[in-house]
Structure 1
Amino acid sequence: MYIEFILIFLLTAATYELGFAQKLPVFKKAAAYVLLLVGTFPLAILNAMGLPMIPALCVAVVVLLFARLRRKDVKSMREKEQKG
């Protein structure tokens, strides 16, 4: 149960970082992670009830990772076009 809780928290944090995080001061960033930790409790309960929270979060991380890589690729292509 604890391993699943930690895994859900790590996947939730990765989802947050890949898709939604902005540059924040240290205390605000810490507060965001505390809220993520609090939000992990309901997800862990749903996971214990049999809902596939861990696979769903893995899919979210993969999709956001592909989106981030694609966005970086498009940005570098635009910079090359502007240079010449």
Structure 2
Amino acid sequence: MPSIYVKPRLRDAKKPDQGVLLVRRESNGKPIPAEGADVEHTPYIRRRLRDGDLVRATAPAKTVRAKAAVKPDTTHKETSQ
């Protein structure tokens, strides 16, 4: 089943400091975080979207950290005897 990115809506649009609604996942009952999550596009999620408990959102761009290339130490000193 396809997945979509959703966020819970604010409790009160005029008072954003009150937080977001607590909307639970259908599969395991854990709440969907305020920053959003990928969920399967099931009838349960469609109902939450239709009722306004969830809103579609754009998934944040995943930042890819470039791993520093590990260079071998080639500056070793050779001692001549």
Q: Which has the higher contact order (CA 8 A, sep 6+)?
A: 1
Greater fraction strand:
2
TM-score over 0.5 for the pair: no
| TM-score of the aligned structures, taking structure 2 as reference length | 0.32
| TM-score of the aligned structures, taking structure 1 as reference length | 0.31
For the pair shown, which has the larger CA radius of gyration, 1 or 2?
2
Greater fraction helix:
1
